[in-house]
Copies of this chain bind each other. A is one copy, B any other.
Amino acid sequence: MGKINIALLGFGTVGKGVYQTIHTHQHHLLELLGDHVEVSKIVVENIDKHSRYNKEELFTTHFQKVLDDPDIDVIFEAIVGIEPAVTYVKNALKSGKHVITANKEMFAFHGKELKNMADKHNVKIGFEATTGGGIPVMQTIEHLLQTNYITKTTAILNGTSNYILTEMRLHGLSFSEALIQAKKLGIAEADPTNDIEGYDAFYKLMILSDHIFGEQPCWQSVKRQGISHLTQEQIKEWDTCNQRIKSIATLYLNNNKIEASIEPLILNENDPLFAIEGVENAITLEGSIVGKITLSGPGAGALPTASAMIEDFRLIYSLTRTPVESV
């Protein structure tokens, strides 16, 4: 029995979820992998914020310490934003370390480059957690693509927007009232622009495009409209006809050109996305043979995202396994 040493980059909601899951599922991971999994370094910006953990040897502000540690094979990247994440990830891949990321903005910008870099250095990069939280989106796409062409994808990719629209419909709130409530509950951030203006869904849709079609559409060609202009009256009016306004991400091929958009659309009750309420996410994949498959589940949150990252870990570990000496 050996030991697998991993490092965490970032110790916010997702980083803590991974840390916690690795500890609560130690026995399960041991059964699966045949080895103990240990978090041996956590890279943070400000070490003082984490002093209550009383584990000085665990936290560091120096990513170089992770790079220099030959015992660390796998890095879980759970930073928000592009930098320093992308620099860390590039250096990790170049050093022959596998990377698992939950960072959608970074991956929408640099995913293709990072996948190529991973191939070149004979390591893996896992990104299941970037899109759809705990829903196994990437893995299902890979699976479907074995047999089907995926002709169209429609999805609810932003839980915050979907929560706001659900509350407006169910409880007659205005957009501002629903947003205040979402902030109180920790569902919206202090600056909610990324979520309510469709940037978050946009990043995820670009990652999906890379995964399904091998490339992204020209970003300028993608319609991106948020939900802040929607009124209670509009939502109420459609609700009377049993139709719902949802923020829908769409991706399809039109004469071999990738078309993509994020915008509020009116769904009728036959649409598989009609019933997706609150913070849930969902994705409908249209396969050339199988027809429409819909996956739904928790689109964010510490544990669902951690679950997706650890599934990536398991997969990477099983693909690249080399005997590990007992330490």
| A311 / chain B contacts, CB cutoff of 8 Å | 143-144, 146-147
Q: Does A149 contact B (CB under 8 A)?
A: yes
The reply to whether B275 and A304 contact each other, CB–CB distance below 8 Å, is no
Say yes or no: A290-B298 contact (C-beta < 8 A), given A146-B32, A310-B147: yes
Q: Does A293 contact B (CB under 8 A)?
A: yes
Q: Does A63 contact B (CB under 8 A)?
A: no
The reply to whether B298 and A295 contact each other, CB–CB distance below 8 Å, is no
* Interface bits A136-171 vs B (CB < 8 Å: 1, else 0): 100110011011110000000000000000000000
Q: A287: nearest residue on chain B (CB-CB)?
A: B307
* Interface bits A1-24 vs B (CB < 8 Å: 1, else 0): 000000000000000000001000
**Stoichiometry, copies per complex:** 2
The reply to whether A297 and B290 contact each other, CB–CB distance below 8 Å, is yes
Q: Does A111 contact B (CB under 8 A)?
A: no
Q: Does A274 contact B (CB under 8 A)?
A: yes
- How many residues from A make CB contacts under 8 Å with B? 42
The reply to whether A297 and B293 contact each other, CB–CB distance below 8 Å, is yes
Say yes or no: A290-B270 contact (C-beta < 8 A), given A147-B311, A149-B28: no
- B134, B274, B295: the one contacting A295 at CB < 8 Å is B295
Q: Does A291 contact B (CB under 8 A)?
A: yes
The reply to whether B314 and A146 contact each other, CB–CB distance below 8 Å, is yes
Tell me the smallest distance from the CB of A295 to a CB of chain B, in Å. 5
Tell me the smallest distance from the CB of A99 to a CB of chain B, in Å. 18
Interchain CA distance A283-B148 in the complex, whole Å: 21
Residue of A28, A274, A293, A295 contacting most chain B CB atoms (<10 Å):
A293
Contacts A136-B293, A147-B310, A289-B303 aside, 9 further interface pairs with beta carbons under 8 A come to A32-B146, A134-B289, A144-B311, A269-B275, A289-B306, A290-B298, A290-B307, A291-B298, A294-B295
Some 9 contacts from A to B, beta carbons below 8 A apart, are A25-B147, A147-B311, A270-B277, A289-B304, A292-B297, A292-B298, A293-B295, A294-B296, A296-B296
